[in-house]
Structure 1
Amino acid sequence: MSTEQKGLVLVVEDEAAIADLLRLYLSREGFGVHVERDGRGGLASARALHPVAVVLDVGLPEIDGTEVCRRLRADGDWVPILFCTARDDEIDRVLGLELGADDYITKPFSPREVVARVKAAVRRSGVVTASPHLVLGRVEVDRDAHKVRVDGAEVELTATEFDLLVHLMKSPGRVLSREQLLSEVWGYAAAAGTRTVDVHVAQVRAKLGDASPIRTVRGVGYSAETP
């Protein structure tokens, strides 16, 4: 697949060595890469260049990464965002996910892991299957158009929230563990990351309200059923 087909990844990172390493590994995988060193430049480039994914440091000059993410989501821009930061506090991780980030990577990291997560996020954002429509109760998902509606009204979900909902709705009644969801939706498995699943489920439920088909199966995981 060519660079043009894979698209452009925006890396917003003020540490030159890290930015250069990410540029090298992403380029090897066929992505175009544009680097910005501060939050203001990152926000402007995200709006102007329409990347397929953004790797976003949290501790940035000018505007920090969480504010960049907040402003993009407020604009209605649901490009996959992967936070990359030295902060390893759960509060920071949860805040980033609640702002609409799709994934969270803490430093030090393997550049190969970052590339794998970028590829998974890009894949999730463009999910298309032969059976585009899913309906469960008052929730309708159009996978071709990448849209979710409740009682006919469109609801905005991030790419990861969308893929999580689709993954549960396409097998109604099937109970999936957090580890299964992390592996099948996010593309990697790590027990320490299961909190990510819980936060995204909470976000989907909040957006869908009482129409949400996602049910918690205590001690096991989640399933999708008619409310």
Structure 2
Amino acid sequence: MPDLDGKVVLVVGASAGIGADAARVFAADGAKLMLVARTEGPLAELAAELEKDGHDVAYTTGDVANAADVARFVDATVDRFGRLDGAFNNAAMTQAGRLDQVPEEEFDRIMAVNVRGTWLCIREEVRALEDHGSIVNMSSIGGLRGSSGMGAYQASKHAVIGLTRTAAHDFGPLGIRVNVIAPGPTESPMLDATRRAIPGGVEERIAKTPLRKAGTGAEVGATASFLLSDRASHLSGVILPVDGGFVA
């Protein structure tokens, strides 16, 4: 049987890039999906694509930085499918610029989406998961080490790791596992934005990666699928780099 056969999985930040590619992996692995992002058009297109292949998929819009939105889309998942078994918290925004050059409003928005948004998702998902299930959060190798030019983003991704570790302790006794993936450079619209903002930075990092390539959203999705599945039943609080060996 596929790893996620019959499981109901909420995919937050599903409209493009890693989120959309991961949703395709989860569907192929047998999951029923609720797709969430801020923009409806790409969600509708992805849902139609997956439904055409015979998968059970629904979607709704929402902003992870808005507590009411998060409660609503978690409730919508349970209303549509009758339960929640797992969640992939992927919504995020990036940033470039030295720490002393980051506008306050940009710093605040990054923290609102990447940190507050992850916390709000965990809070509402735990309520719906009740006494079972798995949450996979998305950090970055930028949450494991520092580098110049993306300090606000990296601070937010360090925070996601801290939230995940605490959540593993808080909710493990309830039967809920919480893990975090830390991707290296992964082909996506966000990576393209980083290429534009920091010319040569992505290529330099790939050159220092043992596998000498950027990852794909499908590779990240396959890792998340494993962590969401019962095959990872004794894994919680794990920080799993999917980075071609960069942090080895």
* TM-score, normalised relative to structure 1: 0.45
* TM-score, normalised relative to structure 2: 0.42
Q: RCO higher in 1 or 2 (8 Å CA, sep ≥ 6)?
A: 2
Q: Which has the higher strand share?
A: 1
Q: Which has the higher helix share?
A: 2
